[in-house]
Structure 1
Amino acid sequence: MDEQEPDYRFTLANERTYLAYLRTSLACYAGGLSAVQFLDLGRDRWPARIIGVILVLAGLATTLGALRRWQQNLVAMRRQEPLPVTKLPLMLAATITIGGLIGLVFALWR
């Protein structure tokens, strides 16, 4: 298929979205590591570890998903095709909700 250089504004908007996802993934990494280090949800500390692992895995998935989305969008724009649908925001919302609910349950249980 014939590829064309897209309007630079679309390319830059795609890049800004990619960088926003990377900031979100960094926040997930920081939150996950902080949960393991600082949350006191019991003697064994396993609830904090669970929350930490969930958030760090969400950060990894976000980083990889953001790269894939950025590349797919760039190819679609060059080919003048519709942008691909992504489930990355849904995955992020679900993961952060699950981590938050786990934290809430164990905070109330304490």
Structure 2
Amino acid sequence: MTDQQEPDYRFTLANERTYLAYLRTSLACYAGGLSAVQFLDLGLDRWPARIIGVALVTAGIVTTAGAFRRWQENLTAMRSGGRLPVTRLPLMLAATISVVGVIGLVFALWR
């Protein structure tokens, strides 16, 4: 077992701010996804809006879970004096939001 030490409070608070930023992003994904399903009318029996909505809400769920995991891993690494773990969460978010944006643009122009 490695020695655990309390990290500098500034690093702990920075880790918490990052966690809260991920939670805000996940809330935005939830709101965008639910709004897309409710208000986006792209024709064709509304299936494009459903695809966009499901993709955004799923991204929100993954972001919420990933944010908590990342917060825990960072805190553990800081307390043990180890390296901070690498995450692919920002890449997943960027890719999802880009794909959803392209889908929305294609169907908006197609309509």
Q: Same fold (TM over 0.5)?
A: yes
Matched, 1:51 2:52: yes
In structure 2, C-alpha distance between the alignment counterparts of 1:17 and 1:61, rounded to whole Å: 16
In structure 1, C-alpha distance between the alignment counterparts of 2:66 and 2:55, rounded to whole Å: 16
The one-letter amino acid paired with 1:85 is: V
Specify the alignment match of 1:33 in structure 2. Answer: 34
Calculate the TM-score normalised by the size of structure 2: 0.98
Matched, 1:92 2:96: no
In structure 2, C-alpha distance between the alignment counterparts of 1:22 and 1:43, rounded to whole Å: 33
**Cα distance, 1:52 vs structure 2:** 0.2
Sequence identity (%): 82
In structure 2, C-alpha distance between the alignment counterparts of 1:109 and 1:34, rounded to whole Å: 21
Long gaps (5+) in structure 2: none
In structure 1, C-alpha distance between the alignment counterparts of 2:105 and 2:11, rounded to whole Å: 41
In structure 1, C-alpha distance between the alignment counterparts of 2:51 and 2:105, rounded to whole Å: 13
In structure 2, C-alpha distance between the alignment counterparts of 1:82 and 1:100, rounded to whole Å: 35
In structure 2, C-alpha distance between the alignment counterparts of 1:43 and 1:85, rounded to whole Å: 41
Long gaps (5+) in structure 1: none
In structure 2, C-alpha distance between the alignment counterparts of 1:50 and 1:88, rounded to whole Å: 21
- What does residue range 53-68 of structure 1 map to in structure 2 within 5 Å? 53-68=54-69
RMSD: 0.5
Specify the alignment match of 2:72 in structure 1. Answer: 71
Matched, 1:105 2:71: no
Q: Which moved more, 1:70-79 or 1:34-43?
A: 34-43
The one-letter amino acid paired with 2:42 is: L
> 1:59 aligns to what SS in structure 2?
helix
**Cα distance, 1:43 vs structure 2:** 3.8
Residue-pair matches, total: 110
Which runs of structure 1 show a deviation greater than 4 angstroms over 4 or more consecutive aligned residues?
Answer: none
